[in-house]
Amino acid sequence: MWPHGKRWVYSITYDEGCAALMDHAAPIHRELGIPGHVALVASQVGVPRSVPGSSYDGMMILSREQIDGLCSGGWGVSCHSLTHAAITEENADEEVVRSRLVLEGALGREVLLFCVPGNNDSYPASAAVAARAGYLGVVTIYDKPFSATDHEAITANIPVMGIVKGGRVQPAHPEDIAGDKAMRIKPKG
């Protein structure tokens, strides 16, 4: 489906994986021919979300069958912790390491990315154990893009990974063709 034999590409992440995206986001991705990505809380597949305090609490989460369907259309899946708790040194084994096994069991597929829940304060403790857990990379939802002077989610310093050329998405950086383990991050400022 993608150039250079890649099984999936990273485009837009929907954290939590609410089932409503089947009706709203998935058709648009299909129409554009660009798969998306879901970051799933490992304990919350195919059930109404039960994360006390979350504004998504009670919303139905994608089932394994729905995720299978998305993945067969090129979508990717990452692990978004076990309970969406802030990640600390104390709970990282549970929330980052064990959650990968739990999610892989729930989905019956390999999970190679960890998506930090909440905010980037949870990044250091997540990154510290990610390699041991077997992830190839760690992504964050946002890096405080909104400030008094910066209201744009997409800014000049946002990492560019793909460009549309001749009606297809091509890697923006030739070195990305060689390896799919590279990560690009939004520089500070």
- Tokens 């040194």 -> residue: 89
Q: Smallest distance from the beta carbon of 170 to Zn ion, in angstroms?
A: 30
CB contact at 8 A, 101 and 85: no
**Helical (H) or strand (E) element with 103:** helix 99-107
CA–CA separation, 48 vs 165, rounded Å? 40
The one segment of 90-98, 114-122, 125-133, 142-150 that binds Zn ion by CB under 5 A: 114-122
Token pair listed for 122 = 């949870």
Is 95 among the residues that bind Zn ion (CB under 5 A)?
no
In the complex, what is the shortest distance from the CB of residue 31 to Zn ion, in angstroms, rounded to a whole number? 26
- For residues 144 and 187, give the distance between their C-alpha atoms in angstroms, rounded to a whole number: 11
Give the CB-nearest residue to Zn ion: 15
The residue from 9, 10, 14, 15 that contacts Zn ion (CB under 5 A) is: 15
Residue 174 C-beta: closest distance to Zn ion, Å: 33
| Nearer of residues 11 and 83 to Zn ion, judged by Cβ | 83
Whole-angstrom CA distances from 104 to 23, 43, 128 are: 25, 11, 21
Quick one: 141 or 169, whose CB is closer to Zn ion? 141
What part of residues 117-136 is at the interface with Zn ion (CB under 5 A)?
Answer: 117
Return the sign of the alpha-carbon dihedral for residues 172, 173, 176, 178. Answer: positive
Residue 141 CB, shortest distance to Zn ion, in Å, is 6
Chain contacts with Zn ion (rule: CB under 5 A): 15, 117
